[in-house]
């Protein structure tokens, strides 16, 4: 009996040791598996703070009902502001106001303020056409009667309607906010190093130099293209009550699938030679004014991208630095034109706003027919044979 018990005890000890060893090995493997799973889970769910803040920033932008985008264009080499403006948008109504101050240049000596107000996603639009024409010396032409010019001075604060028949909208997005704003791709921010991003009081700053900017750092296919064409034809009239007819083309071409942000004005007149010959002292040229603001000036040769954002404010700003090619021609020199590459900056700042866009009923408005009538009223009257 004692031998059996002793033998049995030995077996129990051997099997017990083996079982404990197996349990120990299994336990270690289980602990390692659990630890590995927890580590993998932690790696996949944890992301840098600047990236989490960016995702939050995008959510804030998406929820903005009314926004303001300030834009500045600066010639860095000359320390001169080329243009500045702001865009006020109401995403609930689709109303939009675009205001720009375009400053004088060597090529264009006259600056002006351009103001465009549109309603229901550009279903109807008005511009401060009179004010722009006044600022660019349109009415200085000698064939306009200065004695009757006072008639127009009362209308300088009026907005002229863009003709809906010539109004062209192509591929218009329902929400135009991001069509005016440069936003980096998330992957660009995800690949930033610690030296490229800074955090200051919950705000983040990103600085990328030319060699650090990836080719696909931002989207390229859904920016705003807006071209305002104004053309005035003045011809002899068959109407016995007036000598000349003024015929207006006032067209706004818009698209939101452009690869650059582009805003341009193309204004011109064509006046009958008979009217020009009325002045024996002067031989004035037809009026022409072309101005274009195009981000291609800097994005074509980017040298730096600087981003600042804070979802708590909320606040988003981006600066695009680049080289703009310029050829300077000298009519007194037959040699090749001088080539100059100047440093330019486009700055975009997005903020929420309480500023309201004037309602349609608050605007002092003029129709195309009314504008034509006023222009015709200051043209001279010639004696009929």
Look at phi and psi of residue 49 and say left if phi exceeds 0, alpha if psi is from -120 to 50, else beta. alpha
Strand pairing of 223-236 and 262-271?
Answer: parallel
CB proximity list for 38: less than 8 A, separation 6 or greater: none
How would residue 255 be classed by pLDDT, with cut points 50, 70 and 90?
A: confident
Interatomic CA distance for residues 254 and 259, integer angstroms: 13
Q: What pLDDT does residue 281 have?
A: 47
Q: Which tokens hold the place of 5?
A: 């018990």
What does the CA dihedral 257, 260, 261, 266 come to, rounded to 10 degrees? -90
Interatomic CA distance for residues 82 and 55, integer angstroms: 33
Interatomic CA distance for residues 314 and 181, integer angstroms: 15
C-alpha distances out from residue 259 to 182, 219, 255, 310, Å: 11, 8, 10, 27
What does the CA dihedral 136, 142, 144, 146 come to, rounded to 10 degrees? 90
Q: Please, how many CA atoms are within 13 Å of residue 351, restricted to the half-sphere of its CB?
A: 7
pLDDT in tens, 102-111: 998 776 778 9
Give the global pTM. 0.81
pLDDT in tens, 83-107: 999 999 999 999 999 999 999 877 6
Let me know: does 319 contact 313? Beta carbons within 8 Å: no
Residue spans of the domains in the chain: they are 49-377
C-alpha distances out from residue 198 to 125, 203, 285, 309, 310, Å: 43, 8, 56, 11, 12
Positions of E strands within the chain? 66-75, 80-90, 95-102, 112-119, 124-127, 159-161, 168-170, 197-200, 203-209, 223-236, 244-258, 262-271, 288-294, 302-310, 315-328, 338-352, 365-366
pLDDT in tens, 206-241: 999 999 998 888 876 789 999 999 999 888 888 777
Average pLDDT over residues 332-354: 81
Let me know: does 253 contact 122? Beta carbons within 8 Å: no
Average pLDDT over residues 336-348: 84
C-alpha distances out from residue 158 to 117, 164, 298, 362, Å: 12, 18, 35, 11
Q: Please, how many CA atoms are within 13 Å of residue 190, restricted to the half-sphere of its CB?
A: 8
Interatomic CA distance for residues 155 and 134, integer angstroms: 11
Q: What pLDDT does residue 215 have?
A: 85
Distance of CA 112 to the CA centre of its chain: 19
Distance of CA 124 to the CA centre of its chain: 20
Average pLDDT over residues 55-67: 95
C-alpha distances out from residue 258 to 217, 219, 376, Å: 17, 11, 38
Q: Which tokens hold the place of 84?
A: 């500045």
Top mean-pLDDT range of 99-113, 189-203, 293-307: 293-307
Q: In the chain, how long is the greatest CA-to-CA distance?
A: 152
Q: What pLDDT does residue 286 have?
A: 75
Q: Provide, for the chain, the percentages of residues in helix, strand and coil under a 3-state DSSP scheme, each rounded to the nearest 5.
A: 30, 40, 35
> Is residue 112 scored above 60 in pLDDT?
yes
Top mean-pLDDT range of 123-127, 323-327, 381-385: 123-127
DSSP label at residue 47: -
Q: What pLDDT does residue 239 have?
A: 78
């Amino acid at each position: 009996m004692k031998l059996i018990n002793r033998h049995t005890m030995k077996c129990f000890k051997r099997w017990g040791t083996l079982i404990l060893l197996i349990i120990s090995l299994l336990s270690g493997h289980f602990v390692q598996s659990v630890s590995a799973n927890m580590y993998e889970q932690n790696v996949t769910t944890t992301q840098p703070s600047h990236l989490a803040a960016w995702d939050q920033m995008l959510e804030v932008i998406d929820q903005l009902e009314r926004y303001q985008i300030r834009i500045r264009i600066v010639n860095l080499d000359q320390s001169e502001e080329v243009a500045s403006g702001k865009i006020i948008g109401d995403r609930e109504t689709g109303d939009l106001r675009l205001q720009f101050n375009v400053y004088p240049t060597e090529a264009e000596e006259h600056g002006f303020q351009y103001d465009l107000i549109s309603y229901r996603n550009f279903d109807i639009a008005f511009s401060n056409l009179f004010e722009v024409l006044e600022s660019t010396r349109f009415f200085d032409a000698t064939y306009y009667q200065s004695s009757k010019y006072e008639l127009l001075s009362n209308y300088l604060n009026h907005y002229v309607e863009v003709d809906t028949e010539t109004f062209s909208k192509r591929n218009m997005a329902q929400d135009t906010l991001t069509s005016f704003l440069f936003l980096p791709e998330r992957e660009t921010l995800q690949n930033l190093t610690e030296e490229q991003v800074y955090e200051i009081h919950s705000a983040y700053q990103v600085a990328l130099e030319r060699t650090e900017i990836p080719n696909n750092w931002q989207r390229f296919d859904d920016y705003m293209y807006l071209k305002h064409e104004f053309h005035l034809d003045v011809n002899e009239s068959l109407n016995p009550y007036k000598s000349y007819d003024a015929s207006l083309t006032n067209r706004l071409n818009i698209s939101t699938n452009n690869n650059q942000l582009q805003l341009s004005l193309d204004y011109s007149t064509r006046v009958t030679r008979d009217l020009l010959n009325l002045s024996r002292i002067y031989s004035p040229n037809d009026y022409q004014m072309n101005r274009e603001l195009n981000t291609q000036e800097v994005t074509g040769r980017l040298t730096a991208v600087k981003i600042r954002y804070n979802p708590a404010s909320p606040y988003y700003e981006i600066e695009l630095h680049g080289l703009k090619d310029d050829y300077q021609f000298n009519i007194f020199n037959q040699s090749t034109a001088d080539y100059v590459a100047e440093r330019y900056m486009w700055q975009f700042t997005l903020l929420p706003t309480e500023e309201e866009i004037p309602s349609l009923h608050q605007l002092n408005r003029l129709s195309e027919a009314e504008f034509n009538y006023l222009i015709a009223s200051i043209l001279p009257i010639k004696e009929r044979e």
